[in-house]
Amino acid sequence: MTRRAELTTLGTGARALVRALLPNIMPAATEGGCRRQLAEGIPTPSLEQTWLVLAVLGRELPTSDEVEAARRLARHNGLGQLVAQLRARRRRPSKWFDRPATVVTDAVLLDIQESATSTLMTGVQRVARSVALEWLERDSVQLVGWSTSRTQLLRIDADAFEARRRRGLFRRGPIVPWGGTYVLAESLNEPARASRIQALAAYSGTRTGMIGNDAIPLTTAETTGPRMPGVFAKYLAAASRMNIVATISEAAATEYRGWKAMLSSAGIDGPDIVTVQLASTAQPAEPRFEVAARARMLVDDLPLVLCVGSHEPRKNHLAVLHAAELLWVAGHRFSLAFIGGNAWNSEEFDNEVSRLRAAGRPVQTISGLPDGELWWAYRLARLTVFPSLNEGFGLPVAESLGAGTPVVTSDFGSMAEIAEAGGCVLVDPRNDEAIAEGVRSLLVDEELHKRLAAEASARRPRSWAEYADDVWDAMVNYDGSP
């Protein structure tokens, strides 16, 4: 494979700084000489110049606070003193991993820290991984992640990433972007990284962008777990300094545009918000999973109503249970299956499921279902119900439609967007009776069911390659016009 082509760099240490900041001067032969050239050539550095000096000589990407404090030091006492301080800090015994920082000028860096190191596979990580695998086909792409201390940007080995190999995943020696493009493919749940990415976006002269999945911890905080909004706010602070946020739906763009409109109060322009609709591909139902799926999912000859997603309040599963109960009470016959794990605050959901089961209602909850059986479950279901209160995309809606199974989903946001191409009954998710009526119509109205199933099967899938190409156009080929 030819993916190991070395990046264009300015080298390391003070020599790289002279090349970057004093392009008309030939770097001196020694590091000390280069440091003197810097001190003389840049008496009062800008915030951008200060950022680079800190990142290269400090060997850690600085936070905005550190950049501002260092610039004040240099403003009052000269750059020479700042350089001397950074050097003094490094005089401890050098360790094997304490390598000099390399300045990278024109690469496309794709940050996939979580997806590269986690064994979990959330929706967000699936997106990041898919984009990474597609982008690796391009020459200038370098996957990156973070050091254990979360202060250094490290190169990720493409082959190790593809093979999901932990060993040799990170290559040694921090890199410092100065120009080029940096793309954050995931949400950030580590404030320590957020503050450094914020400074990188603000000061490195690198074009920066991220994939915007949703802004739910800000706009729907009541449905998120403890402490999530606070952490998410730090992530938004980093995003506010970026050039581009590519949202996975128009609904997510609506959220990010609303947030961006808030920023002018702090004198910040905020990023451009562009929508790059997420991929939605039909997953193949492999024959070997069929028997197990049928045995697990189906109850006698009852039509199956499927509900996929973790039992967090936002997914509105209590309303689904209540709507189902109204229909059972009215004499309709069907079984109901929830596929998804427990989340915070799902105790009441568990109680309701137990109560209904004790009353003889055919309802079950399944967690940890293998993907192979999940794709069969969508095909075995009469319909899927997904009346979420807020979604960045609503993957189960797209997955169900990809399997040709109609969906009852919310009449707004990303769910209504996906439904535009057909196959759905739209309902107000805050109205239990409306959910019940939507489910009822697909259970009893054969004409409707047939028409929506046909619409679902006729939908054109959107591949990960198409999605990744469009993200590339938005982030890398971006010319500044929305």
Q: Which of 215, 383, 385, 439 binds another protein (CB under 8 A)?
A: 215
Residue 411 as a binder of another protein (CB under 8 A): the answer is: yes
DSSP 351-413: HHHHHHHHTT--EEEE-S--HHHHHHHHHH-SEEEE--S--SS-HHHHHHHHTT--EEEESSH
Tokens of 117: 């190191």
Within 49-78, the residues that bind another protein by CB under 8 A are 64-65, 68-69, 72, 75-76
Identity of the residue, 198 or 384, whose beta carbon is nearer to another protein in the bound complex: 198
Q: Which residues contact 224 (CB under 8 A, 6 or more apart)?
A: 216, 217, 232, 314
Q: Which residue do the tokens 């760099």 mark?
A: 9
Q: Which of 12, 49, 335, 410 binds another protein (CB under 8 A)?
A: 410
Q: Which of 186, 399, 432, 470 binds another protein (CB under 8 A)?
A: 432
Tokens of 221: 């905080």
Cα distance between residue 336 and residue 323, in whole Å: 11
Output the smallest distance, CB 261 to another protein, in A.
3
309 φψ region: left (φ > 0), alpha (ψ -120 to 50), beta (else): left
Q: Which residues contact 236 (CB under 8 A, 6 or more apart)?
A: 215, 218, 259
Q: What angle do CA 37, 43, 45 make, to 5 degrees?
A: 100
Q: What angle do CA 404, 410, 415 make, to 5 degrees?
A: 60
Contact segment (CB under 8 A) with another protein among 167-175, 235-243, 272-280, 366-374 equals 235-243
Q: Which of 6, 139, 222, 479 binds another protein (CB under 8 A)?
A: 222
Q: Which of 138, 166, 227, 355 binds another protein (CB under 8 A)?
A: 227
Tokens of 357: 């089961």
CA dihedral sign, ordered 347, 352, 358, 361: negative
Residue 219 as a binder of another protein (CB under 8 A): the answer is: yes
Q: Which amino acid is at 344?
A: W
Output the smallest distance, CB 27 to another protein, in A.
29
Cα distance between residue 222 and residue 70, in whole Å: 40
Q: Which of 3, 126, 150, 257 binds another protein (CB under 8 A)?
A: 257
Output the smallest distance, CB 313 to another protein, in A.
9
Contact segment (CB under 8 A) with another protein among 6-14, 108-116, 157-165, 323-331 equals 323-331
Output the smallest distance, CB 29 to another protein, in A.
35
Site string for another protein, 370-399 (x = CB under 8 A): -------------------xx---------
Residue 259 as a binder of another protein (CB under 8 A): the answer is: yes
Identity of the residue, 3 or 257, whose beta carbon is nearer to another protein in the bound complex: 257
Residue 262 as a binder of another protein (CB under 8 A): the answer is: yes
User: What does the buried/exposed string (b/e) look like for 76-110 if buried means 16 or more CB atoms within 10 Å of the residue's CB?
Assistant: eebbbebbebbeeeeeeeeeeeeebbbbbbebbbb
Identity of the residue, 133 or 318, whose beta carbon is nearer to another protein in the bound complex: 318
Binding residues for another protein, how many (CB under 8 A)?
A: 62
Tokens of 361: 């209602």
Residue 429 as a binder of another protein (CB under 8 A): the answer is: yes
Cα distance between residue 112 and residue 121, in whole Å: 13
Contact segment (CB under 8 A) with another protein among 21-29, 107-115, 157-165, 213-221 equals 213-221
Nearest to 140 by CA among 96, 173, 162, 110: 110
Residue 197 as a binder of another protein (CB under 8 A): the answer is: no
Q: Which of 413, 456, 464, 475 binds another protein (CB under 8 A)?
A: 413
User: Which stretches of the chain bind another protein, using CB under 8 A?
Assistant: 64-65, 68-69, 72, 75-76, 191, 195, 198, 215, 217-222, 227-234, 236-237, 240, 251-252, 254-268, 318, 322, 325-326, 329, 348, 389-390, 410-414, 428-430, 432
